[in-house]
Amino acid sequence: MNSPFVLRNPCPPGVCDCQLDQLLACPDADRRILRLTRPEERRLLERLESLQSVADLEHMQQRMYEQLGIRLQVEPAHGEVRSARGVHLHFEAHPGLCRRTRQGIAAAVRRALDRRPEILWRLLDAQGLFRDL
């Protein structure tokens, strides 16, 4: 199998829920996620940790979808939001997306929101939190 790009190493069997075997078995499946190697994943996490604005976050969400097929939705969780922990990060089901990668992306976004609370405030304001004040 000659591939024009380096593929990610598979997860150990039984450890991950990425369903990589299903992805590889289907010939017309979206295989963009396989381009996310460990070094590329580290670069992605560093980039997510250095978010500067809501527009930057939206840009990264768009780029993750275009390049890897990862759809990430960032929205306030139900109830009270006091910190970045109160933000709900939801990934659409995507064969090949590892549990560890999902956790790493979520943690990187939360660290960025902790460093720059104004991004969190803008996200909350977009949902109408500060509308009645």
Asked, for residue 133, whether it belongs to a domain, the answer is no
Give the mean pLDDT of the chain. 83
Q: What is the DSSP string of 20-44?
A: HHHHHH-TTS--GGGG--HHHHHHH
Domain assignment present for residue 4? The answer is no
Amino acid, res. 26: C
List pLDDT tens digits, range 71-97: 999 887 666 666 667 788 889 888 888
Does 63 fall in a domain? yes
Query: How high is the pLDDT of residue 1?
Result: 47
Rounded Cα distance between 2 and 75, Å, is 41
Query: Is the pLDDT confidence value at 3 over 60?
Result: no
Which of 84, 80, 82 shows the shortest CA–CA distance to 109? Answer: 84
Q: Please, what is the end-to-end C-alpha distance for the chain in angstroms?
A: 60
In a domain, 83, yes or no: yes
pLDDT over 90 percentage in the chain? 37
Residue 75 in any domain: the answer is: yes
Question: pTM higher than 0.85 for the full model?
Answer: no
Residue 53 lies in a domain: yes
Tell me: the pLDDT tens digits for 23-43? 778 888 888 888 888 899 999
With the C-alpha atoms ordered 120, 124, 130, 131, is the resulting torsion angle positive or negative? positive
Residue 6 lies in a domain: no
Kindly tell me the sign of the dihedral angle through the C-alpha atoms of 101, 19, 29, 8: positive
> Looking at the domain assignment, is residue 82 inside a domain?
yes
Domain range enclosing 83: 20-126
Tokens of 87: 């933000």
* 29-33, 85-89, 98-102, 103-107, range with greatest mean pLDDT: 103-107
Count of structural domains, the chain: 1
**87 φ, ψ (degrees, to nearest 5):** -95, 130
Q: Average the pLDDT over 126-132 and give the result.
A: 60
